[in-house]
Structure 1
Amino acid sequence: MANVCPELLYTGTCHNLNCSLKHDAKFCSVCAVICAPAHVYDAHVKGRKHRTNLSATAAGSSTWLKCPICNVVVSSEVVWFQHLSGARHRTTARNHGLNPSIYPTDAELVDHHRCFICKRSIHVTEWRSHLRSQVHTGLQRAAAQRSKFEQAERDRGGIVVSHAEKGVDFGVVSRANSQKGVQVEVTLASTDPSANVSIVRADTFSTTGSGTCPFSAVIIGGPRVVAWGKSIYVRVTFLHPQRGRFFGRLELTLQDTSRRQYLITRQLRAVVGNASNYELLKAVAPYVHRRPTRWHHGGQVMEGRRPPALDAVMWVKTLEQSYIPAGLQDILKNGSTRKAIAAIRGTFLPQTLINETHERYFRVLLWLEEHRLREDLRLYDLADVQFAKEGRLYTLPVPGLAEKRPSVVIGDTIHVQSSSGKGHTHKGFVHDVRLDNIRVNFHSSFNVVGRYNVRFEYNRTPIKRQHQTLMVRSTSTQRLLFPGPQHTPLDRVVHYQEVPLSLFNGQIANNAPQLQAVKSILRMKEGAAPFIVFGPPGTGKTVTIIEAIRQILHRQPNAHILACAPSNSAADLLAQRLSALTPAELLRCNAIFRDRSSLPDDLVAYSTFKEKHFSMPPISSLVRFKIIVSTCGHASFPYNLGMPHGHFTHIFVDEAGQGTEPEVLTAAIKTLVTPSTRVILSGDPKQLGPVIRSSLARQLGLGKSYLERLMDLPLYNNEQTGRGRSYIKLVKNFRSHKAILDYPNERFYNGELEVCGSPTTINSFLGSSQLPKRTFPIIFHAISGENERESSSPSYFNIDEATEVVDYVEELLRDRSHPVRAQDIGIITPYFAQSRKIRKLLQKERIEGVKVASVEEFQGQERRVIIISTVRSSRDLLSYDAKFSLGFVSNPRRFNVAVTRAQALLIVIGDAYVLSIDPMWRGFMNYVYLRGGWRGDAPTWDTNVPVRTEGDYAAEMQEAAAAEMDALMARLTEGEDIEGEANIDQAFQEAE
């Protein structure tokens, strides 16, 4: 097909008399389908798919569109096309001498057109190039092909085929029945007395990407002529032994009296599983993308009273506001990603990152991240809600609050406006957080009667602390930020056997790397660069750090230590492992707004409180503690309380790879160090790094942790000054079975890790009947499920995988020959919605004690059994953005952490076809398949072919899908001359 005119598709009219593009077509923005010829559109809008999509689109539009001619805003693409064809719009355009066919602009962004097919807002200066881009033309191609499929499903030639509305749906089939086979009959009947059509053949094709089609079809009976008053039956059989969702296509080849052949198709669908589970876990309401809450700016803001907790500590220093510069704000509001990066680099970001530019460089990155955080909070705006009066406070239910969606703490602020758009804006302070409710104090003029729109405000205190840290002047920045050979922490490599130690933890006595690390920390020079303990999974880096701290305190009576970690849970773990010290020696310092219930009971005695909230001891007491434990973000407190420079002789940061550089530097590293202060970092640059929400900040370097950046410097890479003198790599893995460790060991750690786990633990599932191969304790269970979302949650869930996960849990708990407790099983899944569904099934089966959480929550932890549900699945071979279908499952560090939590048994459940897009996952699946750990349909690729690390397997998948579509198109047009159809597919191939 020749190229379709985009102006015609997206505005309905082309006014270029010399336009050579195709005009006999219509675009359905609801279904993202290009109908050609144009008359096909009339049949399309009457179909069930269009009606279903129309209702979902009307409820779920997320973008407000503005008409530049009429200066009015409409709420969806559907309403836009109605507005465009309306008499008022055309009259207004005529009165102003303007072309009524116009592209809409995004009402939320300045000078941005909305591309309906890409679902993106594009800056006007890039609009024409966008229409020619590979992504846009690829999506146009898919839209045209979807229309082709849709047309093939329509009856023609006087023949009516049953199951026209929903296709051939076998419903939810039990595994027992699916193994025997289930059948459905499809009927062909004639509606034309003069017609004499025969059925030539009935074929089935899989559309889920699996190699084998679980559907088959046979024509029943003798005569194959579909004559008036006589029906022909086709028996379709579904047969498959495994759980999952299966999709296919039935193609009926028909021939008329002139021997011209044509196709009528029907979609095939079957689900193998437990019907009650699907009913329990199904979406309660269809997913609706949250629309931005309409908000009017300006006017008076009435402010409530701050909570007393905010005044629990008297700070000596005041944090500067450090607001985002106006020029940078303009770039972020009005520029595309590519243009924004170019503008930021050219105007705000230093050309090179050196000691003199470090402050400016990272402050810009912090502003980018803050901007994104503020934008992300808009997802949680509430519209048309009511408050309840409770004493002097006002209570508001906030869905998802218990799961930190959004995260709200005491002292945060919300802004409230009447949903009618009239009256003042009220600024309220959060005084209390209870499960899914917040209690807020407003100005006395607030009227609880009425309905309000609510905006959550980003708490700027943590980011202001980071700006403060970057701006503080220090004489030690060179050795801390950009150390050279003169800053090498050790004069020579310390052998693990020299200088015998009386160990506090006897378990490390025979661990050479751990002993070497402890002794190296004790021998660090003054004025040295940070010493790094590089700790891969299960190698005991935290144990090493704790031993080093205990040795320092024992050997140096005047030592004062600050120990930090990026998260409260990691900081709590440090404090718990140091709890042999007395409360007079150890302080667990908590932020005043931390939820008290999240503090472990055994650390209460080591914490300071003021009434119901955390507080801080006076400076006179603080300086007496031998060791203070804090999160990195809160560890600016010594500086802001006026603690003297050089008070801390040592600063330790555990899990340093998980924090951003400004966050880790906030741990008093830059603010209070003197030449005599030793800094020790521990972590693993190959595991999870900082969580960065801004793609701009990530691309420009904020996603690279301080630990990782240091280890990339020549000081740490040099053979003379690196390993042994600037860092120690721990290599003895005490966690995992060799089979579990081998793949990540080769992939991330150069094969250096040694299996040292207790044989009783790591071999405890060998010989189990649960294993496809009894000597290999890894299972990859290939399953084709379906991504789903519900209500206003953008998080994905997969019922098929959730059911399979809980089946494995039940089978493991029933296995008396290899007993395991529920507490020894961990379930990792990247999506919050999937965690909820799995917990719901566990609750149904009355299973308690299994931890279900994200990869981030499992870092630093281990379980005898780990089950991973990857969730993402796709049956749409037409999807142009197949390489994005993995979401953030495709992340090497997340993969590394997930598969290295297991001690004795690792089970991965996922869609092998989709995961094979990613080279890392493909390599892992090859590893499992070739060693006999595979369950489910076999891989569709050659597992013996080496994986190309930079291989574009998504492109190969697309090519295979395109070839399959081309073959169908050829069959659809074989023997007949449907206007324009023979060329539709070809044109888009050329455009690509």
Structure 2
Amino acid sequence: MASSNLVIQQKKAATYGFKRVHHRISRKGSSKEKTCRGIFWKASEAAPAALQRKALKQLQSFSVSGSVAKKAPPWSKPPASSSDQSQSSRLQATFHSRPSTTSSKPSSSSSKQLPSFKRTLSLASPNSIYAVPKDIEDLLKRDIVPQVLNELLSPSTYKDYFAALLYAEDFYTEKWSKFKLKSITLKLPDAEIIKKYGKKEYFSESHEKDDKTFVEFEIDSCRERRPFLLSRDFAFARPSGQKTEPYQGVIYRVVKNNIVLVEFGEDFYLQHHPTRKYDVSFSFNRVCLKRAHQAIEAASDPSFKNFLFPGAHRKSIPTSTPLHFFNHKLDVYQRSAVQEILSFRGSPPYVVEGQLCSQKYSKQLSRTGLVVQEAVLQIYQSSSKHRILICAPINRTCDALTQSLKNDIPESDMFRANAAFREIDGVPIDILPSCMYEKDCFGCPSIQELRKFRVILSTFVSSFRLHNEGIVAGHFSHMFLVDASSATEPETMVALANLAGENTAVIVTGASGKHPGWVRSNIAREKGLMRSYFERIRDSQPYSSLHPKFIKQLVDPESKSFDSYSYARES
């Protein structure tokens, strides 16, 4: 019976999530088929030291060479060798749960072996970059709030205030780093289980998807008795009673606060047995925290003050030509918002308050999303010199906005920037031509090519890749910080502080009552990290007085209320 079970598990490992996947994509107007390969990591039992050093180097590097052809999808050329490698988890500077900013090219090997999911690859030492200062660490150990967090947020306290909040997050991850579950049973539900938990994929009907097997186990539902786990944190499983290296997996999601779903490498599934017990420990990603620390430093420049603490003066652009709207279904509130967006440049930002741009289980844009779509198209057509950056907290929103623009903006003018090791299965098939995908990871074009794109879309954190490639503050004439109410302020600053210049028109959208969901530390939650940039400036003047030149509330013309109204644009 044991032998039979092992055979079954081996077959499942071969079937679910570890086979080479070929996505064949046919584009309209082209007889040529594009092949996009998504290949999952094949974990090895022992990662050679040379490969581990290479992984370290990749984590510290954010440069990917490559270019984008002007008239063809940048990912369309197939990799040169079938031995190119990939990984199902993002390998970046400690793998954060948010979209990452790193990029690297997977190395080739004749044996197709990759570094195993071992603790050695979770390499960011918590004491390496932006380490918690000793005096703040001593306070946090005693649950004492650092003094700066009791002061009023102002231009003079901004940097230290948010740094302290981020240090509280760092300390939390250190505090729980030695937590371990002992002698637990791991279950192997397949992808159908995910759908029962509410996961609804929105791929095209023709998109071939790979089934996956997840490892499932339960943790205490009480947050005080276990670590706050997020997608893309790490789980390490070692058979109980053994002293071997643990198998490293990436947390896919936490369901109902107590069910953890993890993706492991093939070597785990080949040795797994249903009756086997495991000791499980965890490691946390710091990529987003590192980007946030860097962004807060950049935002502290005195020249940036009017973005952080907006005044009531703004540079206006005279507009006399009547607008011809792409979407004729926009109501009077939406049209007014678009006209205001087109009428200014530079700080302070313009705020649009309404629904989040994309709804969780819908392909349709909300009323706010339609305003963003219309404004981008109006800006795009008004001048070939305009450069537009659209950022949002999550990939789903960026993907939905890309889909809404692709019929009016050619591929050669629009780039969808992705985290290097975002899984290709999660990208809607119809926007892949706007991505750069080669050698089994998402790349970032050269600085020369990036400057040519007139519209770029990215998550807040992944926008760091643009900064790292050399895009300077002020390159973009317009910046849309979409659904900023769902992101922490430091997360939003990754895009704003690194890429906005004094003449950049910044548009911030958000929904009242929405808050970031990934803050772990109680001190950080209670002292302001849960308060978004959108909410903070919305509550300040001139926005709180609803000055029409600074804010537009998207009210339902019929019910006179928010969040109850949605249009779908006709294609």
Using the size of structure 1 for normalisation, the TM-score is 0.37
Match of 2:131 in 1: 323
Match of 1:482 in 2: 309
Match of 1:398 in 2: 215
Structure 1 pair 323–754 and aligned structure 2 pair: CA distance change class (3 A): closer
Match of 2:293 in 1: 467
Match of 1:582 in 2: 410
Structure 1 pair 545–698 and aligned structure 2 pair: CA distance change class (3 A): same
Q: Distance in 1 between matches of 2:312 and 2:349?
A: 12
Helix, strand or coil: the match of 1:344?
coil
Helix, strand or coil: the match of 1:562?
strand
Residue 753 of structure 1, CA deviation: 5.3
Partners of 1:490 and 1:520 within 8 A in 2: no
AA at the equivalent of 1:531 = Y
Partners of 1:645 and 1:674 within 8 A in 2: yes
1:529-570 C-alpha deviation (Å, 9 max, x unpaired): 111111147971110011111111111211111101111111
Partners of 2:418 and 2:443 within 8 A in 1: yes
- Please point out which of 431, 447, 455 is paired with 2:281: 455
Match of 1:725 in 2: 549
Q: Distance in 1 between matches of 2:284 and 2:375?
A: 38
Helix, strand or coil: the match of 2:412?
coil
Q: Distance in 2 between matches of 1:647 and 1:757?
A: 33
Q: Distance in 2 between matches of 1:682 and 1:378?
A: 40
Match of 2:63 in 1: 314
Match runs of 1:410-449 below 5 Å:
419-420=240-241, 426=245, 436-439=262-265
Residue 729 of structure 1, CA deviation: 1.2
* Bigger RCO of structures 1 and 2 (CA < 8 A, at least 6 apart): 2
Q: Distance in 2 between matches of 1:382 and 1:662?
A: 36
1:355 matched to 2:155? The reply is: yes
Listed as ranges, the gaps of 5+ residues in structure 1 are 1-301, 387-394, 739-750, 759-859, 861-992
1:755-781 C-alpha deviation (Å, 9 max, x unpaired): 8779xxxxxxxxxxxxxxxxxxxxxxx
Match of 2:341 in 1: 521
Q: Distance in 2 between matches of 1:698 and 1:458?
A: 18
Structure number, greater radius of gyration? 1
Structure 1 pair 397–517 and aligned structure 2 pair: CA distance change class (3 A): closer
Partners of 2:230 and 2:518 within 8 A in 1: no
Residue 725 of structure 1, CA deviation: 1.1
Residue 525 of structure 1, CA deviation: 3.2
1:86-113 C-alpha deviation (Å, 9 max, x unpaired): xxxxxxxxxxxxxxxxxxxxxxxxxxxx
Match of 1:512 in 2: 332
Over the aligned positions, Cα root-mean-square deviation in angstroms equals 4.2
Helix, strand or coil: the match of 1:657?
helix
Match runs of 1:124-143 below 5 Å:
none
Q: Distance in 1 between matches of 2:181 and 2:462?
A: 28
Q: Distance in 1 between matches of 2:291 and 2:527?
A: 21
Residue 474 of structure 1, CA deviation: 3.5
Listed as ranges, the gaps of 5+ residues in structure 2 are 1-48, 66-100, 103-123, 187-211, 219-227, 254-260, 357-364
- Please point out which of 675, 690, 698 is paired with 2:502: 675
Structure 1 pair 349–686 and aligned structure 2 pair: CA distance change class (3 A): closer
Partners of 2:182 and 2:240 within 8 A in 1: no
Partners of 2:414 and 2:434 within 8 A in 1: yes
Structure 1 pair 754–384 and aligned structure 2 pair: CA distance change class (3 A): closer
AA at the equivalent of 1:357 = T
Partners of 1:490 and 1:725 within 8 A in 2: no
Q: Distance in 1 between matches of 2:297 and 2:373?
A: 31
Residue identity (%): 26
1:671-706 C-alpha deviation (Å, 9 max, x unpaired): 122211111111122344544333221211111110
Match runs of 1:51-450 below 5 Å:
305=52, 313-314=62-63, 321-333=129-141, 335=142, 340=143, 343-346=144-147, 349=149, 351-372=151-172, 381=181, 383=183, 398-399=215-216, 407=230, 409=232, 419-420=240-241, 426=245, 436-439=262-265
Q: Distance in 1 between matches of 2:287 and 2:59?
A: 11
Q: Distance in 2 between matches of 1:458 and 1:753?
A: 37
AA at the equivalent of 1:693 = R
Match runs of 1:551-570 below 5 Å:
551-570=378-397
Helix, strand or coil: the match of 2:145?
helix
Residue 601 of structure 1, CA deviation: 1.1
1:541 matched to 2:368? The reply is: yes
Match of 1:171 in 2: none
Q: How many residues align?
A: 406
1:276-331 C-alpha deviation (Å, 9 max, x unpaired): xxxxxxxxxxxxxxxxxxxxxxxxxx998366985895279999711223343343
- Please point out which of 348, 351, 359 is paired with 1:532: 351
Partners of 1:385 and 1:453 within 8 A in 2: no
Residue 709 of structure 1, CA deviation: 0.3
Partners of 2:354 and 2:563 within 8 A in 1: no
Structure 1 pair 377–515 and aligned structure 2 pair: CA distance change class (3 A): farther
1:611 matched to 2:448? The reply is: no
Q: Distance in 2 between matches of 1:686 and 1:372?
A: 26
Residue 376 of structure 1, CA deviation: 6.7
Instruction: Answer 1 or 2: which has greater strand percent.
Output: 1
Structure 1 pair 453–520 and aligned structure 2 pair: CA distance change class (3 A): same
Q: Distance in 2 between matches of 1:310 and 1:709?
A: 34
Structure 1 pair 664–441 and aligned structure 2 pair: CA distance change class (3 A): farther
Q: Distance in 1 between matches of 2:519 and 2:419?
A: 22
AA at the equivalent of 2:373 = I
Match of 1:656 in 2: 484
Helix, strand or coil: the match of 2:216?
coil
Residue 372 of structure 1, CA deviation: 3.7
Match of 2:206 in 1: none
Structure 1 pair 598–755 and aligned structure 2 pair: CA distance change class (3 A): closer
1:828-885 C-alpha deviation (Å, 9 max, x unpaired): xxxxxxxxxxxxxxxxxxxxxxxxxxxxxxxx9xxxxxxxxxxxxxxxxxxxxxxxxx
Structure 1 pair 755–325 and aligned structure 2 pair: CA distance change class (3 A): closer
- Please point out which of 711, 718, 730 is paired with 2:538: 711
Q: Distance in 2 between matches of 1:474 and 1:439?
A: 44
Residue 367 of structure 1, CA deviation: 2.1
Residue 441 of structure 1, CA deviation: 8.9
Q: Distance in 2 between matches of 1:313 and 1:754?
A: 39
Q: Distance in 1 between matches of 2:237 and 2:134?
A: 25
1:710-747 C-alpha deviation (Å, 9 max, x unpaired): 011122234xxx4211111111268xxx6xxxxxxxxx
AA at the equivalent of 1:344 = V
Residue 644 of structure 1, CA deviation: 2.6
Partners of 2:251 and 2:262 within 8 A in 1: no
Residue 629 of structure 1, CA deviation: 0.6
Structure 1 pair 550–479 and aligned structure 2 pair: CA distance change class (3 A): same
Match of 2:422 in 1: 594
Residue 642 of structure 1, CA deviation: 1.9
Partners of 2:166 and 2:524 within 8 A in 1: yes
Structure 1 pair 438–725 and aligned structure 2 pair: CA distance change class (3 A): same
Q: Distance in 2 between matches of 1:593 and 1:432?
A: 15
Q: Distance in 2 between matches of 1:733 and 1:371?
A: 48
Using the size of structure 2 for normalisation, the TM-score is 0.61
Residue 352 of structure 1, CA deviation: 2.2
